Chains A and B, each alone.
Chain A
Amino acid sequence: MERWHVVTAILAGYLALTLWIGLRAGRKRSASVQGYVAGDRDFGLLVMYFVTGATVFSAFAFLGGPGWAYSRGAASFYILAYGVLGIAPWYWIGPRAAAVGRREGYVTQAQLITGRFPSRTISVLFAVMSVAAFVPYVTLQMQGAGIVIEAVTDGHIPLWAGAALAYGIVVIYVLRGGVGAVGWTNTFQGIFMLIIAWTLGLYLPTRLYGGVGPMFEQIATQRPELLTVPGLAADGSPWSWGAYSSSILVSAIGISLWPHLFMKAFTARNDEILRRTVVLFPTFQLFLIPVFLIGFAGVLFQGGAPETPDFILPFMILETDLPAIVVGLFCAGALSASMSTGDALLHAAASVTVEDGIRPFRPMDDAAQRRVIQILVVVVGVIAYAFALDENSSLVVLLLTAYGIIAQFAPPVLATLYWRRATTPGVLAGLIAGSATSVFFLQNASLRPWDLHEGILGLLVHVPVLVAVSLATRPQDPTHVAGFVADDALHAVSESPHG
């Protein structure tokens, strides 16, 4: 039996197990839309922790992170830095959003915003922007899965087939189980990939260089430019501090506003679980360190180079003649990183499109809505798959672009929950101005001042416009506002500690 047969067998076993867990978890859920989209608001701490962590810790971290460490050095440290900064404010925002969501029965972010600022235009804008951000994100997860499968099977299963296989399974369990399946498979995959990351991150430097310290000493001698921030740009020239710093800021602002993560606030059993998830979240950032070590191990590797930096992880694993069982387990870990994010994204993209893009215009009953969500899961999957076949894009760049869009959700969310004087025209004007600015600088990258990320430039326009237009228009009815901003409204929501 050839080596890649063993690897493929392990992989097949892993995929079968994932499918089985997904289908089993799906069986207990209620058939209502609320059950399908929000998982009956019934996630415990363990599941919440891994849902959040595994969803964030995606193919981007597992393949894009090492790819950047390998080709751009310390530029990759931005990925390490932003998580804590982004998740901490969620300690207060999360329970607040959840309290209003429970009271009003919201399942999406736009429902929260348009609850306070009634506007079908805002609702549709949110749906369009969410899907625009989701497609590159799903695309990079699919490419990740395809890269891993192609690499470990020696090209016997090409990228297009590997991506189709892995995401065929993802679509099946999302269709069967909704968010319930997403939660349970993420728990399983989350635990799995943490073990793999640490094992390989320590094993590779030790095997190739005699330890982590000796490896960095050698890199410091031969490629010192890789070890200090801001590292290198994609073309190998030094990266700028402006781009490095604003990548951290835009990612920190965006991280908790991703619709698939924001919707988790509505699925949590109670606020305590949300808060604990936030407190535990930074531990996930530390798991990125061993993943980066794998990328750095490739820098001075003598045995050749991968076809693109995103292939560095599977490339290193294969070039070092590890036992087939280790390669198989690694492959499953990276696949799980891709799939556990991809499933949440597909599910959220479809739910958001229906809830915010279609339902405000065309009411439908629960069964019809569920059916449409299921159709859209397949549609979004197919669109992302079409993009995934184009291999010219870096995984990290795809994600950073999506973050620029998502960051524009921050001002409306904060205005909804914290600023009494905000008005519907203000929020709408800010959203349009911010997005337009962001798109402009995405298209005209050379015009960016100090090389700042287009999402940050968008926010610099977005916030003043929101404030100015709000102040220039008539204030909202205070009793309406009180349902979202005032603390007494939150006091009225009783919370059972046992859900």
Chain B
Amino acid sequence: MSLRYARTLAFVFLAAYAVAVTWPGMVPFNRIHPLILGLPFSMVWIAIWIVAGCLVLWMLHRVESTHRARRGLGDDGAD
């Protein structure tokens, strides 16, 4: 995956995250049932985004690390 692509994806994810956990993005998912692992769905919805955030950041880190290793630099790798 190219660096530019990975950064765009990460950025889009963060924008989606911001909308999904606030008004109005949260509204359709703001419900008690179904309980998942015993937790109300509204809480699970936020937890899902946190877990997705972990994965996205981890993938971004892999791409950025590969890119940095190739350039042999400690900088932030921007073009």
**A and B bound?**
yes
A224 to B41, CA, bound (A): 12
Do B57 and A286 touch across chains, with their CB atoms under 8 A apart?
no
- Cβ of B4 within 8 Å of any chain A Cβ, yes or no, is no
Residue of B nearest to A88 (CB): B14
**Interface locus among A51-59, A239-247, A372-380, A436-444:** A239-247
How far is the CB of B5 from the nearest CB of chain A, in Å?
16
Interface residues of A in 230-276 (CB under 8 A from B): 241-242, 244-245, 248-249, 252, 270-271, 275-276
Q: B73 — which chain A residues lie within 8 A by C-beta?
A: 491, 495
How far is the CB of B43 from the nearest CB of chain A, in Å?
6
Interface residues of B in 21-47 (CB under 8 A from A): 21-23, 26, 30-33, 35, 37-40, 42-43, 46-47
**Interface locus among A90-98, A320-328, A352-360, A423-431:** A90-98
Do A282 and B50 touch across chains, with their CB atoms under 8 A apart?
yes
Do A220 and B14 touch across chains, with their CB atoms under 8 A apart?
no
Residue of A nearest to B74 (CB): A495
A204 to B44, CA, bound (A): 20
| Interface residue from B35, B39, B60, B78 paired with A289 (Cβ < 8 Å) | B39
A80 to B20, CA, bound (A): 13
How far is the CB of A295 from the nearest CB of chain B, in Å?
12
Interface residues of A in 48-90 (CB under 8 A from B): 74, 77, 80-81, 83-85, 88-89
**Interface locus among A6-14, A175-183, A208-216:** A208-216
Q: What is the total number of residues of chain A having a CB less than 8 Å from a CB of chain B?
A: 53
Inter-chain residue pair count (beta carbon < 8 A): 126
Q: B42 — which chain A residues lie within 8 A by C-beta?
A: 74, 77, 227-229
Chain B: interface residue count, which band?
Answer: 35 or more
Known: A88-B10, A249-B18. A215 touches B76 (CB 8 A): no
Known: A245-B22, A270-B74. A212 touches B57 (CB 8 A): no
- Cβ of A142 within 8 Å of any chain B Cβ, yes or no, is no
Q: B17 — which chain A residues lie within 8 A by C-beta?
A: 84-85
Do A286 and B39 touch across chains, with their CB atoms under 8 A apart?
no
| Interface residue from A84, A228, A249, A493 paired with B22 (Cβ < 8 Å) | A249
Residue of B nearest to A275 (CB): B61
A341 to B51, CA, bound (A): 25
Residue of A nearest to B26 (CB): A229
Known: A211-B38, A249-B18, A275-B64. A84 touches B75 (CB 8 A): no
- Cβ of A131 within 8 Å of any chain B Cβ, yes or no, is no
**Which chain A residues have a beta carbon within 8 Å of chain B's beta carbons?**
74, 77, 80-81, 83-85, 88-89, 91-92, 95-96, 99, 205, 211-217, 220, 224, 227-229, 241-242, 244-245, 248-249, 252, 270-271, 275-276, 278-279, 282-283, 285-286, 289, 292, 487, 490-491, 493-495, 497
Known: A81-B50, A229-B26, A285-B50. 12 other contacts (CB 8 A): A85-B14, A99-B74, A213-B37, A216-B39, A220-B32, A227-B32, A229-B30, A248-B22, A282-B53, A493-B75, A495-B73, A495-B74
18 A-B residue contacts at CB 8 Å?
Answer: A74-B43, A80-B43, A81-B21, A91-B64, A216-B32, A216-B38, A227-B42, A228-B31, A229-B42, A248-B21, A270-B74, A271-B74, A279-B54, A279-B57, A286-B50, A490-B75, A490-B76, A491-B75
Closest 3 CB pairs of A and B: A495-B74, A212-B38, A213-B38
